[in-house]
Structure formats: structure tokens, C-alpha cells
Amino acid sequence: MNPALTARKVEFRYGDRDILRGVDIDLFPGEVTVLLGPNGSGKSTLIKILSGVLSPRAGDVLLCGRPPRSFPRREMARLLSAVGQDPPVDFPMTVEAYVALGRFPHQGFFGGTTSEDREQVARALDLTELAALRGRALSEISAGERQRATVARAIAQGATVMLLDEPTAFLDIRHRVAFYEVVTRLAETCGVAALVASHDLSLCAEYGERIVLLSDGAVAAQGRPERVLTPENVRAAYGVEVACDRNPATGAIRVTPLRARPPGVET
Ligand SMILES: Nc1ncnc2c1ncn2[C@@H]1O[C@H](COP(=O)(O)OP(=O)(O)O)[C@@H](O)[C@H]1O
Ligand SMILES: [Mg+2]
């Protein structure tokens, strides 16, 4: 199967600092890829490059075979949706109106709303459990609710590639699980190719078919969760000791941080 989005040997600098070094990534239709990596490892920068917000210094990004920046804005928005790391706070609009912004690439230049638009907005609100909050102002809901609104907006957009930058950062465990359920369902039923930047090591192992571990701007490991989530890889990338075993209930890899022991204390 051809990847929906592919990056080859991507390099990026801020000033004279190397931020991304030779990054390769492929996103396939129907697959959820989880992008792991410590703070500052380059996840957000990579997502901005994949979505065409930033241009790589070297290397290639191809969305459906073309550079992202070569698409007209609406066409691009029908193919790719991106959710940034910081949910908007000061948009003076309701949750529903904000989610409906996701429909702009499907509307005519005069912005007429169709029943399809209304259905897709209602579906996105349902999937993110926001229907009851649809009339509330974006500035008058919690950070987690606002984060779900950004995901709802991306779902309403109906793009085939979804790039989500730490979409679960503010979510409680119930809504974290719900997020991964929804993104997996979109992949399985609509063929969406999703990239989710995350710090949910164990949770993403339950859902992510493929994990890309970024460390200091380079791909340290990528592949199935059992291949990527090893104590050696986690220690090298995050500098913490963890135990990696299998969740007895599901068989998925489970990552548990180990408490640091003061020097000289015997176990
Ligand atoms: N606008 C910017 N200007 C300069 N440096 C930046 C900018 N944005 C991010 N950086 C730096 O680039 C590196 C990667 O950042 P980022 O991609 O945000 O990492 P992550 O999302 O993995 O936490 C960090 O060292 C960060 O400090
Ligand atoms: Mg980031």
C-alpha cells in the first residue's frame, strides 16, 4: 500500500541549532502511528513540517505524492487536518461554531452550510462527548474540553491524513481512552492515516500499530510497540529506568517507570 504521507531525510534548523536530523516517516491509510519523544525532541517541529507550516531545510515531504505546500489551501484541508499543541483560548465563539470551522474546505466561497456539514459537526461533537457543551463559549470551558473541541474540529474536517500534536495532554483517563478509540475507529472505518504525538507510553502501545520514537531530532526506533518500547530505548531517549512487560489483560506492552534508588541502597 502506498503511504498517504511520507517524509524522507528531513532536516530542520532553528537558527544554527539542528532540530531534525534525517527523519524518515511513512503514514499509511488505515493506520494510527504514535510519535513519542521527550520534551524538545522535535515532535511539534516535525508535525509542522509534515503539515506544510514549516519547510524542511533538506529532504522531502510528499502528501499523496506532492509537497504539502504545493496544494491550494482548501484542497490541502480536504486531504490533511492538523491539531496543534496549544488549544485556542480566546476565540469568541461557541464550541459548535468552532467545530464547524472544520467544514470550510467543503463549503462554497459564500459559505453556505449543507445538511452534510451539520451532520458531520454533530457526529464530531458526539464522538468527542461535547454535544452537551455545543452552545458554550470556547473561553468558558475547561482545558480538556477545549482540547476535545480541537479534535472534534479536525474530525469534522474529514481529511484522510490527521496530524495531532499531544491531543491527550489535558485529558483525564476516560477521555484519553475515548480519544484513542475514536482515532482507531476513524483509521479502521474511514481509512484515515493518523499521526499522534503523545507521552502515553503504555496507552499508545494498546492502540498504536506503529510507534516512532524521536530522540534529539532523530528517529531512535520505529516499528511495532514491542520493538520500540524496550527499557534500553526508553532509557536512551528519556533517561529514565522503566520495566517493559505485557499487560496481562490485553497482551500489549506495558511501560512502568522504576523509582530511582539512592546510591548505596541495596535492593
Ligand atoms: N520557534 C522556535 N524557535 C527556536 N527554537 C525552537 C522554536 N520552537 C521550538 N524550538 C526548539 O526546537 C526543539 C524542538 O522543539 P519541539 O519540536 O517543540 O519539541 P517537542 O514537540 O518534541 O517537545 C526544542 O529544543 C525547542 O526548544
Ligand atoms: Mg511539542
Pocket of ligand 1 contains residue 134 by CB under 6 Å: no
Pocket test residue of 20, 36, 44 for ligand 1, highest count of atoms within 8 A of CB:
44
* Average model confidence (pLDDT) across the chain: 94
Domain assignment present for residue 204? The answer is yes
User: How remote is the CA of residue 43 from the centroid of ligand 1, in Å?
Assistant: 8
- Domain of residue 51: give its range: 5-257
Domain assignment present for residue 266? The answer is no
- Res 113: pLDDT: 85
The answer to whether residue 177 scores a pLDDT higher than 80 is yes
Pocket of ligand 1 contains residue 14 by CB under 6 Å: yes
Pocket of ligand 1 contains residue 39 by CB under 6 Å: yes
The CATH number of residue 128's host domain is 3.40.50.300
Could you read off the pLDDT of 104-149 as tens digits, one per residue? 999 876 667 889 999 999 999 999 999 999 999 999 999 999 999 9
- Res 263: pLDDT: 73
Domain assignment present for residue 214? The answer is yes
**Over the chain, what HEC string results?**
CCCCEEEEEEEEEECCEEEEEEEEEEECCCCEEEEECCCCCCHHHHHHHHCCCCCCCEEEEEECCECHHHCCHHHHHHHEEEECCCCCCCCCCEHHHHHHHHHHHHCCCCCCCCHHHHHHHHHHHHHCCCHHHCCCEHHHCCHHHHHHHHHHHHHHHCCCEEEEECCCCCCCHHHHHHHHHHHHHHHHHHCCEEEEECCCHHHHHHHCCEEEEEECCEEEEEECHHHHCCHHHHHHHHCCCEEEEECCCCCCEEEEECCCCCCCCCC
- Res 153: pLDDT: 97
In this prediction, residue 91 has a pLDDT band, given cuts at 50, 70 and 90, of: confident
Pocket of ligand 1 contains residue 16 by CB under 6 Å: no
Domain assignment present for residue 263? The answer is no
Query: In this structure, what are the phi and psi dihedrals at residue 219, rounded to the nearest 5 degrees?
Result: -80, 110
User: How remote is the CA of residue 112 from the centroid of ligand 2, in Å?
Assistant: 35
Radius of gyration of the chain (CA): 19
Domain assignment present for residue 265? The answer is no
Report which of residues 242 and 263 the model is more confident about.
242
Domain assignment present for residue 177? The answer is yes
Pocket of ligand 1 contains residue 86 by CB under 6 Å: no
Domain assignment present for residue 85? The answer is yes
Nearest CA to ligand 1 atom 18: 44
Domain assignment present for residue 245? The answer is yes
The pTM of this model reads: 0.95
Domain count, the chain: 1
Atom of ligand 1 nearest to the CA of 15: 4
- With a CB cutoff of 8 Å and minimum separation 6, the contacts of 247 are 202, 206, 253, 254
- Res 265: pLDDT: 67
Nearest CA to ligand 1 atom 2: 14
Whole-number percent of the chain with pLDDT over 70: 98
User: How remote is the CA of residue 252 from the centroid of ligand 2, in Å?
Assistant: 26
Kindly report which listed range (76-85, 102-111, 201-210, 218-227) carries the lowest average pLDDT score.
102-111
